[in-house]
Amino acid sequence: MATHWWRDAVIYQIYPRSFADGDGDGIGDLAGLRRRLGHLADLGVDAIWMSPWYPSPMADAGYDVADFRDIDPVFGTMAEARALIREAHAAGIRLIVDIVPNHVSADHPWFAAALAAPDAPERDYFWFRPGDQAPNGWRSEFGGPAWTRTPNGDWYLHLFTPEQPDLNWDHPDVRAEFESILRFWFDAGADGIRIDSAALLFKDPALPEVPENGPHPYHDLAGVHEIYRSWRRLADGYPDRALIGEVWLPDAERFARYLRPDELHAAFNFDFLGCAWDPALLRACIDRTLQVHAAVGAPATWVLSNHDVTRQVTRYGRSDTTFSFATKREGTPVDLELGTRRARAAALLSLSLPGAAYVYQGEELGLWEHESIPPALRQDPMWARSGHGRDGCRVPLPWSGDEPPFGFSPTGAAGSPWLPQPPEWKDLTVAAQSGDPSSMLELYRTAIRLRRAEPGLHTPELTWLPTAPGALAYTRGPGFACVVNLSAAPIALPDHETRLLASSPLDGELLPPDTAVWLRLRN
Ligand code: NOJ
Total count of residues recorded for the chain: 523
Please check whether residue 382 is in contact with residue 512, taking contact to mean a CB–CB distance below 8 angstroms.
no
For residue 196, indicate whether it is catalytic. yes
Which whole number is the average pLDDT over 40-64? Answer: 98
- Measure 157 CA to ligand 1 centroid, in angstroms: 16
> Above pLDDT 90, what percent of the chain?
94
**Residue of 14, 60, 194 with the most ligand 1 atoms within 8 Å of its CB, for mutation:** 60
**What does the pLDDT read at residue 2?**
59
Provide mean pLDDT across the span 378-405: 94
Residue with CA at minimum distance from ligand 1 atom 2 = 196
The Å distance, Cα 57 to ligand 1 centre, comes to 15
| CA angle centred on 215, ends 211 and 219, rounded to 5° | 95
Distance of CA 417 to the CA centre of its chain: 22
DSSP character at residue 183: H
Task: Please state at what angle helix 172-187 crosses helix 223-236, rounded to 10 degrees.
Answer: 30
Do the Cβ atoms of 271 and 300 come closer than 8 Å? no
- DSSP β-ladder status, 242-245 and 192-195: parallel
**431-440, Cβ contacts within 8 angstroms, sequence gap of 24 or more:** 431/399, 431/400, 431/401, 431/407, 432/400, 433/365, 439/366, 440/340, 440/343, 440/344, 440/347, 440/364, 440/365, 440/366
Tell how far the Cα of 169 is from the centroid of ligand 1, in angstroms: 18
β pairing state of 94-99 and 47-50: parallel
Helical (H) or strand (E) element with 267? strand 266-267
Residue 348 has pLDDT above 50, yes or no: yes
342's CB contacts (< 8 A; 6+ apart) are 277, 312, 316, 317, 321, 514
Residue whose CA is at the smallest distance from ligand 1 atom 4 = 308
> pLDDT at position 207, please?
98
| Ranges 42-51, 129-138, 408-417: which has the least confidence | 408-417
Quote the CA–CA distance of 38 and 410 in Å, as a whole number.
Answer: 17
Residue 205 burial (C-beta neighbours within 10 Å; 0-12, 13-18, 19+): exposed
Catalytic residue among 122, 191, 246, 263: 246
Residues 12-22: what's their mean pLDDT? Answer: 98
Average pLDDT over residues 226-243: 98
Can you tell me the mean pLDDT for 13-33? Answer: 98
What is the SS3 assignment for 276? coil
Q: Note if the bond before 490 is cis, omega within 30 degrees.
A: no
pLDDT over threshold 80, residue 255: yes
* pLDDT 10s digits, 136-170: 999 999 999 999 999 999 999 999 999 999 999 99
Largest CA-CA distance found in the chain, in angstroms, rounded: 76
Over the chain, what is the mean pLDDT? 96
> How would residue 285 be classed by pLDDT, with cut points 50, 70 and 90?
very high
Q: Is 187 left (phi over 0), alpha (psi -120 to 50) or beta?
A: alpha
pLDDT tens digits for 174-203?
999 999 999 999 999 999 999 999 999 999
Spot the catalytic one: 196, 369, 380, 514: 196
In the predicted structure, residue 354 carries a pLDDT above the cut 70: yes
Between strands 147-149 and 155-157, the pairing is: antiparallel
Mean pLDDT of the 392-404 span = 98
Q: Which of 64, 142, 161, 196 to mutate to test the pocket of ligand 1 (most atoms within 8 A of CB)?
A: 196
Q: Which atom of ligand 1 is nearest to the CA of 308?
A: 5
CB neighbourhood size of 499 (10 A) = 13
- In angstroms, what is the span from residue 267 Cα to ligand 1's centroid? 15
Instruction: Give the number of the atom of ligand 1 that is nearest the alpha carbon of residue 159.
Output: 10
**pLDDT one-digit tens code per residue, 412-426:** 988 899 999 999 999
CA–CA separation, 195 and 218 (whole Å): 16
Q: How far is the CA of 523 from the centre of ligand 1 (A)?
A: 47
Q: What is residue 415's predicted lDDT score, i.e. its pLDDT? A: 86
The answer to whether residue 170 is catalytic is no
Is residue 1 scored above 60 in pLDDT?
Answer: no
**Using one digit for the tens of pLDDT, what is the confidence trace for 298-338?**
999 999 999 999 999 999 999 999 998 887 888 899 999 99
Q: Are strands 242-245 and 155-157 parallel, antiparallel or unpaired?
A: unpaired
Within 6 A (CB) of ligand 1 lie 60, 63, 100, 160, 196-197, 246, 307-308
Distance 443 CA to ligand 1 centre (A): 30
Q: What is the pLDDT of residue 325?
A: 86
